[in-house]
Chain A
């Protein structure tokens, strides 16, 4: 039988078929993002260790829940508008990612209800997060960097935002003491690591000239700072993290240290 093979998908995500040259470039972008990931993780850890107000935590996870829904919709839009000659394997990968995001949406909703002790009013929650609370979502960068038109920008976003998300979810899983939440978030973190690999794969496909690589590097440089800004709005601001960002990327913060 010709079938959809999980192992094949993982191999594809590793970018096995690409030249060393482009793999080295994209892997370099990941290495260059390590400080962003570490600085964000530290703030996530501090936030979860310090939070005592359950209502605030529910509100926080409601935001994360809607982020997963936004990711789902973005991927579905990409599939719906994919060029007719797009490789069926790429569409399999995108559809797999969409299913993951739908599952994350369901999982985080379960956590919000578990913590809040009552059913979530989805209509109100999604409406609020998409309109009033959009500024603190990574997904808003899709608009800022014109990801609908610029495939390279979308690839950079997937690489950095999903990479950061993987580290943050893992940190949450490691920090929270409740086993239900920890297990749920460990599963999400694993999926996000896979999605970050898909972002890397997409960039390996796209970055076939020096000009395109320069464009990707320029976007990545700005996007790392934006992603850190968003992290600061969602967690607590640590002096140590600000310093790490300044040392690595010349990040100049206007933010007030909160922990």
Chain B
């Protein structure tokens, strides 16, 4: 059924919230489990590489943009690319501080790039965002919205003020990117056909994000139940993540 683009986008956004909450619980569980320095190092190299991948995907999208793309859209995308480059640098700088180990980009980034299961930026490749404007805007809205919630829970969980304020800044940027995505979607999704396409793509992206979040953090039973109740059994069918209950982490 056709809805006004604004109502449709609001509904899409609302449907993300359970995923975001479930992911935040899993991230908080990871940090509260007091991971050792090696685990922290790997976790942050993954996050750093993800920021770099976001930057590269946006660069590709700008490069391949249609000739009639509004320059304002290109400015928004370029601003986002600069934000991602800044985040890449921020997380790179923070790795020795958080883990006591230096990151060697030539050694560590290729390993992360080869890992296909734990990065949100993979979704950009999978859904060909550089050639599909609806997929690009959904990616901005859903994936960056997910990232903003995740960086914010890290900012709230970390006791170190350098980490906490740095992550809060990244979270704020990601919120802005999600708004850009929502704005683009509201401009594009003006037919029932487009809305149906976006709805189906959004479902797939949310499934992928849950999978990625489980792969990079601690799969929590309470999160799994939330996901199953809201999105249905199909959402997690065949995923095979071994979950732990929160009481095991916080006992």
Contacts and interface: CB of A to CB of B under 8 A. Distances in A.
A91 B169 contact: no
A77 B84 CA distance: 16
Interface in A70-114: 72-73, 76-77, 79-80, 82, 84-86, 88-89, 91-92, 94-96, 98-99, 101-103, 105-106, 109
B109 A105 contact: no
A72 B106 contact: no
A interface majority secondary structure: helix
Contact of A2 (B69, B82, B94): B94
Interface string A115-129: 000000111001100
B71 interface: yes
A82 B60 CA distance: 12
B55 A79 contact: yes
A4 B109 CA distance: 21
A55 interface: no
B63 A76 contact: yes
Given A84-B113, A126-B67, A1 B162 contact: yes
Interface in B36-64: 52, 55-56, 59-60, 62-63
Interface residues of B, number: 39
Contact of B67 (A86, A95, A122): A122
Contacts of B78: 72, 95, 98-99, 101-103
10 contacts: A4-B86, A69-B71, A79-B59, A79-B81, A80-B56, A82-B56, A88-B93, A92-B86, A98-B81, A105-B71
Interface of A: 1-4, 69, 72-73, 76-77, 79-80, 82, 84-86, 88-89, 91-92, 94-96, 98-99, 101-103, 105-106, 109, 121-123, 126-127
Interface of B: 52, 55-56, 59-60, 62-63, 66-72, 74-75, 77-79, 81-82, 84-86, 88-90, 92-94, 105-106, 109-110, 113, 162, 165-166, 169
